[in-house]
Amino acid sequence: MKQYEVVIIGAGAAGLMCAATAARRGRRVALLDNSKKVGKKILMSGGGRCNFTNRIVEPDNYVSANPHFCKSALKRYTQWDFIALVERYQIPYHEREHGQLFCDHSARQILDMLLSECEKAGVSLVTDCEIQTIDYSAGYRLATRQGDYETNSLVVATGGLSIPTMGSSGFGYEIARQFGLKVLPVSAGLVPFTFSDRMKGVTERLSGIALPVAISTGDRTFSEQMLFTHRGLSGPAVLQISNYWQPGDTIRVDLLPGESAHELLGLWKKEHPKGLLKNLLARRLPKKLVVELMSLYWSEWSERTITDMPDQLLKGIADHLNGWLLKPAGTEGYRTAEVTLGGVDTDELSSKTFESKRQPGLFFIGEVMDVTGHLGGFNFQWAWSSGYAAGQYV
Ligand code: FDA
């Protein structure tokens, strides 16, 4: 029987941060992972460059049934704390649009930095360690393929369900249920949309085309690039809005963000009375998209000049351009999702320590709980902040 003051399950972003923080405080820490290689999601993140945080992090960048839950941890370990760590390790980085911070060279540098923090603090990292059972009576007893572990503080950092080939598992949710904690329904987040029927053909024919749009659902709008794919729609604007989309919802795509299509068509009618709508639209939108829009909605006007088109019709066209209503058939699911929405209910946890309110010594950190960030480095920041907060306490 191996005894540790803290046992952490899951050596991903949150688990590594928590382990290093707790061990620096002098705690004896074992960090167990069922994979042979740890931090796989860090390595594949940000196209291999790891978007490790964002210059501006607000609670509003997170989706959770309790929008206030994330505030305390985000305040106690901020993006500046993580940036300071990155700078201490002299990892070169750069800022991209919307404040996103990426490594100049490789995500491996972020993983190596965290592993080095763990090693320096004396964390025992055990890989290829499948956990078979967890029992509790006064303390926790874990039976694993690498022997039994005993601890008073058990931290669950097993992440979400996205990218099953990367070792994702629902194990964290099982542990929560075993100890009577509520788990909110989970679904794929930051994920492309799929379409059926006519729109499927449209997106297939337009695949590879990207354009700036503003996409909305409910009271949320994201202004970024949208990409047509063989299966539907992707690109940053689509991934962002997917966190707020429910099956059956319609999304609204403004193809001319920041511009009144009504005024634009009125201007064209005055300045180019003999112009064809399709040619005029192609000044602002990709030509192939214009062809598809014309054939979907305005085919009978394809060869008529804009002067021929009644004002009422032009108003309808303008409304369409500033608010193309689309109904996704679904999402690509966990296969391509960056994150998992939902998870362990934050009402069950202390927002300061991440300890379960009903089960002493049991902690949940990172993506396994019901806190999901926007695209842009916010999910890693949540892993760092929640990992640090629990690490300070365990
Ligand atoms: P994480 O998934 O990192 O770690 C969980 C760990 O638990 C893994 O090591 C796993 O092997 C282990 N585990 C699972 N089940 C287990 C079991 N039964 N027993 C033992 N161990 C177990 N975010 C961001 O901010 N910027 C970015 O650039 C990106 N890019 C990105 C790209 C792609 C392709 C994906 C899929 C995701 C991102 N993300 C991201 C999201 C980010 O990777 C994610 O939110 C964090 O990794 C979550 O950190 P956790 O530590 O909670 O889980």
Q: What confidence tens digit (pLDDT) does each residue in 222-236 have? A: 999 999 999 999 999
Q: Is the pLDDT of residue 302 over 90?
A: no
Under CATH, which number does the domain 192-331 receive?
A: 2.40.30.10
State which ligand 1 atom lies nearest to the alpha carbon of 158.
Answer: 7
**pTM greater than 0.95:** yes
Q: Is the pLDDT of residue 185 over 90?
A: yes
Dihedral angle computed from the Cα positions of residues 369, 161, 333 and 379, in that order, rounded to the nearest 10 degrees = 50
Is 337 close to ligand 1, i.e. is its CB under 6 Å away? Answer: no
- Hey, which residues does 126 pair with through a beta bridge? 32
Neighbouring residues of 35: CB distance < 8 A, sequence distance ≥ 6: 11, 127, 128, 167
**Centroid of ligand 1 to alpha carbon of 253 (angstroms):** 30
Determine the pLDDT at residue 354.
98
**Centroid of ligand 1 to alpha carbon of 76 (angstroms):** 22
Distance from C-alpha of 272 to C-alpha of 307, rounded to nearest angstrom: 9
Work out the number of other CB atoms within 10 angstroms of the CB of residue 87.
11
> Please, how many CA atoms are within 13 Å of residue 78, restricted to the half-sphere of its CB?
7
Q: What confidence tens digit (pLDDT) does each residue in 241-269 have? A: 999 999 999 999 999 999 999 999 999 99
State which ligand 1 atom lies nearest to the alpha carbon of 365.
Answer: 52
Domain residue limits, the chain: 2-188+339-391, 192-331
> Which of 35, 41, 64 most suits a substitution to test ligand 1, by most atoms within 8 Å of the C-beta?
41
**Matching fold, domains 2-188+339-391 and 192-331:** no
Q: What is the pLDDT confidence band of residue 366, given thresholds at 50, 70 and 90?
A: very high
Atom 18 in ligand 1: residue holding the nearest Cα: 171
Q: What confidence tens digit (pLDDT) does each residue in 60-104 have? A: 999 999 999 999 999 999 999 999 999 999 999 999 999 999 999
Question: Positive or negative CA dihedral for 276, 281, 282, 288?
Answer: negative
Neighbouring residues of 314: CB distance < 8 A, sequence distance ≥ 6: 262, 265, 266, 269, 306
**Centroid of ligand 1 to alpha carbon of 77 (angstroms):** 19
Neighbouring residues of 294: CB distance < 8 A, sequence distance ≥ 6: 277, 278, 281, 301, 302
- Is CATH 3.50.50.60 the right assignment for the domain spanning 2-188+339-391? yes
Radius of gyration of the chain from Cα atoms?
A: 25
State which ligand 1 atom lies nearest to the alpha carbon of 387.
Answer: 51
Complex ipTM: 0.99
User: What is the CA 319 to chain-centroid distance, rounded?
Assistant: 31
Determine the pLDDT at residue 165.
81
State which ligand 1 atom lies nearest to the alpha carbon of 166.
Answer: 11
Q: What confidence tens digit (pLDDT) does each residue in 313-348 have? A: 999 999 999 999 999 999 999 999 999 999 999 999
Is residue 344 within 8 Å of 356, Cβ to Cβ?
Answer: no
Is 101 close to ligand 1, i.e. is its CB under 6 Å away? Answer: no
Helices (H), the chain: 13-24, 40-44, 71-76, 79-88, 108-121, 171-178, 197-205, 236-242, 261-271, 277-281, 287-297, 311-322, 378-393
Is 171 close to ligand 1, i.e. is its CB under 6 Å away? Answer: yes
Q: Give the percent of the chain with pLDDT over 70.
A: 100
**Centroid of ligand 1 to alpha carbon of 164 (angstroms):** 11
| Single-letter residue type at 85 | L
| Degrees to nearest 5, angle at CA 362 with 174 and 381 | 85
Q: Is the pLDDT of residue 167 over 80?
A: no
Is 57 close to ligand 1, i.e. is its CB under 6 Å away? Answer: no
